[in-house]
Amino acid sequence: MNARKISDSTVRRLSRYLRQLRDLDQHDRKVVSSRELAQATGTTAAQVRKDLSHFGSFGKRGQGYPVSDLRVQLEEILGLTHRWNVAVLGVGKIGSALLGYGYFAQRGFDIVAAYDADPAKTGLDLGGVRVQPLDALERGFADLEISIGIIATPPEAAQAAATRAVRAGASAILNFAPIKLDLPPGVALRTMDMTLELEGLCYMVTAARGDGEVGR
Amino acid sequence: MNARKISDSTVRRLSRYLRQLRDLDQHDRKVVSSRELAQATGTTAAQVRKDLSHFGSFGKRGQGYPVSDLRVQLEEILGLTHRWNVAVLGVGKIGSALLGYGYFAQRGFDIVAAYDADPAKTGLDLGGVRVQPLDALERGFADLEISIGIIATPPEAAQAAATRAVRAGASAILNFAPIKLDLPPGVALRTMDMTLELEGLCYMVTAARGDGEVGR
DNA sequence: ATGTTCTTGTGATCACTTTCACAAGCAGAG
DNA sequence: CTCTGCTTGTGAAAGTGATCACAAGAACAT
């Protein structure tokens, strides 16, 4: 078990499986087949089995997978057995929306700090978190054991903010700024680029005209 | 030129090239090499050339690519020669943040309508757009020629909202709700799932402990 | 004209993912 | 105990995307 290199797309699917499993578990379903899991998450049964097989053998032939056990296993694999402390850097439109976004806490992510370069924002209480000046970042990351930084600054400030967060101890960055971030190796990075996605949609719509089909 | 099926990842990269080209163009750079474009967007020179070669032959050997021409070509390929009208469905934390997000307009996307099921929100003015009840959706999509719907409702309402938007004429959906949407074929879909990305980061961080490296 | 230097465009190759197909195994009925 | 129906786990095959490597130009200097 425990294979070497698991692809990004596999990890994403694992997350989706977990989401579905939590739901099934809450409804007291005991067992689920790869087929059903696949249908609910938009993939194929074979893909589900391959994905899981990278980490072990969790199912029973002829029966399926035990919902509760598999849920726990996936939580362990994904590193979700404990809660994670998160900081938001940049409290503009996006940043403050994230501070009020309830689903993070529900899924084990606690936003415990918020920082902004604008002194006018210092002290603001947003969703129970008080906005602090950037200079409080190092102390905050250390004291609160923050391991994930969410970059929600304007693009110009994003690189500096990310670098600073990493130096202060962040081991992962979720970036909402529409730029490429350079981070030291060993730091995990995911970028959510909204205009990029919108442009992707435009391509699909435009390319579909005259053509037959459009993406999945 | 104009190949059959262009992969999602290629389209994403094209968007990044375009972003860089717009920047270079504004700074009056005339020519750029695949190497430089690659470096700025986080890929390789060969990849840049392959990506572009799917659509034609835009460069000059020994010289590079003409910045302004290539910019226009990419805008045409991606379908960004005209502006796009967008509607936001669901005006909670995320929805209202999007209404105030300036970079959309800057990149050619105009949010021209916002809808919410909650009557208490009807009439609110957010970033210059007045929130309307869901029942005004069909009229709005038709009158304003809205082709992209952004789903920012709670997960329970997302599928219904998306279906309704599509029936009202949307040809693309950008989904912020953490669920799998089922849409008729021919409708383009991209999902931005924040908790999914956070969980991906957790995996990387967790898997890295004991192991050597962590994903890019 | 010729040579030098540079960079594109692209077939070939390589690496990685997904899909296929089926033996292995479990449960329940007869 | 054996037979039947069902589902997992997995090697092999197919498919897809990324990388390599190099011939084909383009500009400029001599």
pLDDT tens by residue, A88-125? 999 999 999 999 999 999 999 999 999 999 999 999 99
Asked if pLDDT for residue B214 goes beyond 80, the answer is no
pLDDT tens-digit series, residues B152-193: 999 999 999 999 999 999 999 999 999 999 999 999 999 999
In this structure, what DSSP letter does residue B64 have?
Answer: B
C-alpha to C-alpha distance for B123 and B116, rounded to whole angstroms: 10
Alpha-carbon gap, residue B89 to A46, rounded angstroms: 35
- Which residue(s) pair with B175 in the sheet? B151, B191
Backbone dihedral angles phi then psi of residue B184, each to the nearest 5 degrees: -60, 150
Which residues in chain B touch residue A128, judged by CB atoms under 8 angstroms apart?
Answer: none
Note whether A201 contacts B: Cβ–Cβ < 8 A: yes
Q: Which residue's C-alpha is at the least distance from the C1' of C7?
A: B62
| Whether pLDDT at A128 is above 50 | yes
**Is the separation of the CB atoms in B109 and A178 below 8 Å?**
no
Query: Closest Cα to residue B16, out of B41, B51, B48?
Result: B41
Pairing mode, if any, of strands A65-66 and A31-32?
A: antiparallel
Distance between CA B109 and CA A120 in Å, rounded? 30
Comparing B208 with B50, the larger pLDDT belongs to B50
Q: What is the pLDDT of residue A210?
A: 54
pLDDT above 70: residue A163: yes
| Confidence band, pLDDT 50/70/90 cuts, at residue B213 | very low
Query: Does the pLDDT of residue A148 top 70, yes or no?
Result: yes
**Tokens for B28?**
């009056």
| A186 has a chain B CB within 8 A of its CB | yes
- Taking the Cβ of residue A84 and every Cβ of chain B, the question of whether any pair is shorter than 8 Å is answered with yes
pTM comes to: 0.94
> Nearest CA to B197 among A159, A163, A98, A215?
A98
pLDDT at residue A209 tops 90:
no
Q: What is the 3-state secondary structure (H, E, C) of chain B?
A: CCCCCCCHHHHHHHHHHHHHHHHHHHCCCCEECHHHHHHHHCCCHHHHHHHHHCCCCCCECCCEEEHHHHHHHHHHHHCCCCCEEEEEECCCHHHHHHHCCHHHHHCCEEEEEEEECCHHHCCCEECCEEEEEHHHHHHHHHHHCCCEEEECCCHHHHHHHHHHHHHCCCCEEEECCCCCCCCCCCCEEEECCHHHHHHHHHHHHHHHCCCCCCCC
- Report the pLDDT value the prediction gives residue A2, as an integer from 0 to 100: 47
pLDDT tens-digit profile of B44-89?
999 999 999 999 999 999 999 999 999 999 999 999 999 999 999 9
pLDDT at site A215:
42
Mutate which: A147, A201, A205, A209, vs B, most B CBs within 10 A: A201
Residue A44 approaches strand C within 7 Å at CB: yes
Residues of B in contact with A201 (CB under 8 A): 148, 172-174, 188-190
Residue contact A186–B79, C-beta within 8 A: no
Q: Dump pLDDT digits (tens) for A13-30.
A: 999 999 999 999 999 999
Quote the pLDDT of residue B216: 37
How far apart CA B140 and CA A71 sit, in angstroms, is: 43
Distance CA A146, CA A161 (A): 15
Return d(Cα B73, Cα B53) in angstroms, integer. Answer: 12
Neighbouring-strand partners of residue B111: B86
Tell me the residue type at B61. Answer: R
Whether A43 sits with its Cβ under 7 A from any strand C atom: the answer reads: yes
A83 touches chain B (CB under 8 A): no
Average pLDDT taken over every residue of chain A: 95
Q: What is the DSSP string of B17-63?
A: HHHHHHHHHHTT--EE-HHHHHHHHTS-HHHHHHHHHTT----BTTT
Q: Is A88 in contact with A95 (CB distance < 8 Å)?
A: yes
Å separating the CA of residue B216 from the C1' of nucleotide D22: 30
Question: pLDDT by residue (tens digit) across B3-30?
Answer: 468 999 999 999 999 999 999 999 999 9
Kindly tell me if the per-residue pLDDT of B2 is higher than 60: no
Nearest to A126 by CA among A86, A102, A149, A99: A99
Question: Using alpha carbons only, how large is chain A's radius of gyration in Å?
Answer: 20
pLDDT of A66 over the 80 cut: yes
The band of B208, judged by pLDDT with boundaries at 50, 70 and 90, is confident
Q: What is the band of A211 on the pLDDT scale with cuts at 50, 70, 90?
A: low
3-class DSSP state of B175? strand
Residues 6+ apart with CB under 8 A from B135: none
